[in-house]
Structures are given as structure tokens and as C-alpha cells.
Amino acid sequence: MPKGRTVWTGIATAAIFILLEIAALSMLHSSSALQNIWLNRFSHNVMALTWGGVEKVKNYFGLREQNDILAGRNYELFKELQHYKELERTLTAMAKLDSANLPPRFNYIPAEITAMGTNSRHNYIIIDKGSNDGIVPGSAIITPNSVVGMVYAVDKRYSYGLSLMNERVNVSARIGREGIVVPMRWDGGGTNKVVLGDIPLHLDIPAGDTVWTSGKSKVFPPDIPLGVTEGLRVIDGAVGIVDVKLFVDLTSTRYVIVAENPDRETIENLSR
């Protein structure tokens, strides 16, 4: 190959190499710029997500703290409200006691029914007062216009009683203001139904007479209105029964009064 041609070929090759290097550097620079832009965007997104997550966590715990504060305030308001409700119930119960003209020889304590059995023939009552409040076994559980039951056992804060809807409970009742005194009991007929037993068949007991507690009991105060008679029926041709519709439905009773006769034990000892 001629010497001149070889020189020109080397120059051409060198020129092509330089152009390719320039192009490669240019592409690398361009690629680095795009890569930097992408990395910057990615890092910014990560930072944004991280910051947003941190803020959400901070807000979450901040809201939780606020919720705890609000819950505490709600609890305090609830206790205060319950205090005023209890005060209102006590005042209302005492006002009813005055209007009911209940005998002064009994001690009266307002209470609230917290549980009541209604599905058997031996139903019970639980009230929210106990020995700390002066409740003693054998006390009557009443309202100004009904007998609800009697206290059977006492805890410090609660009392367990036998409901009037219990076959073991008998109440000495009187038909009318001057009528005969007979036992009153529940026979399972309903939550507002009781019967008067031992009715002489020769007596005419009309429907609509008011039935009262007789006062011939060491447990129940006298002259509490209980209900009205619904007429006489005869069982087996020999026993007279009078159905009585109570003035209240026992299952709807919530607030009661515990009546304790301080002379009950003395009367019991004298009766032996």
C-alpha cells in the first residue's frame, strides 16, 4: 500500500475515533442528567411519603391523646350526671313517701331494681342498696301504690329479694277500707295479676273494689293500694278466689322503696 494512502487512513480512523468519543461523552452526559432527574424525583417522592407517614403517625397519636382526654372528661361528666340523677331520684322518692302517708314506725330507703327474674314461679329481685345503706333481711320492697316483694338476703352494696311473683310470698290484704282480710299471692297468671284466697263463699265480692295492704303484717306497711278486684270465682265448688288486677306491672317497676319495721323482731318474739 502506498505510504500516503496509509497516512490518510490513519488520520481518518483517528478522526472517527474522536467523533465517537465525543458522541459517547455527550450521550453519557445526557444519560447522567436524565438519571439525576429521575433519582431526584424518586428521592423527593420518598421524602414526601416519609414525611407524610411521619405526620400521619404524629396525628394518629395526637388524636389518640385527644380521645383519651375526651373520654376522661366524658367519664367525669357521666359521674356528675349520675350524681344529680341519684339526688333527683332520692328527692322524688321522699316526696312520694310524704304523699303516700306511709306509717312513721317504718324506716324507708329509696332504691333501684338492678335485676329481676320473671320466667319462673320463684322470681327474684336485686336492688342497689345493701347493709351499708341500712337494709336488713325481712324488709318490704314497695312503691307508693304496690308491693313488689321482700328482702331475703343482704350484701354490703346489694340486696336479694323475693318478688311478689314468687309462690313463697304472701301479703296480708284487705278488700275495701273495711273489708275482710285475706292472703294475697301470685298464681302465675301474669305480671300484673294476683289472687286473693280463702274467700268465704257467702260473701259477695263485686268487681272494682280496691285492695289494700291490711296492716296486720310485721313486714308490709298498712294501707298501700295494690289493685282492684275482678270478681269472685269458685274452685272445686268449695274455695273462693278473687282475681286482682294490680295498679302496676311488676316487670316495669324500676324505682322502689325498702320499708323496714324496726319492731319486727320484737313482734315476732311476742308472737311465739
What is the Cβ-side half-sphere exposure of residue 129, based on CA atoms within 13 angstroms? 21
User: pLDDT of 184-225, one tens digit each?
Assistant: 999 888 889 999 998 888 888 889 999 999 988 889 988 889
Q: What is the DSSP letter of 131?
A: G
**Cα dihedral 217, 220, 226, 230 sign:** negative
Cell of 1: 500500500
What three-state secondary structure class fits 4? helix
Q: Does domain 107-271 have CATH number 2.40.10.340?
A: yes
Q: Where are the domains of the chain?
A: 1-100, 107-271
Tell me the C-alpha distance between 147 and 116, whole Å: 14
What three-state secondary structure class fits 181? strand
Write down the pLDDT at residue 193: 93
Q: For residue 270, is pLDDT > 60?
A: yes
Q: Please give the single-letter amino acid code of residue 37.
A: I
Cβ contact 163:185 at 8 Å: no
Cβ contact 197:185 at 8 Å: yes
10 Å Cβ neighbour count for 226?
25
Closest CA to 174 of 211, 139, 204: 211
pLDDT category at 34 given cuts 50, 70, 90 is low
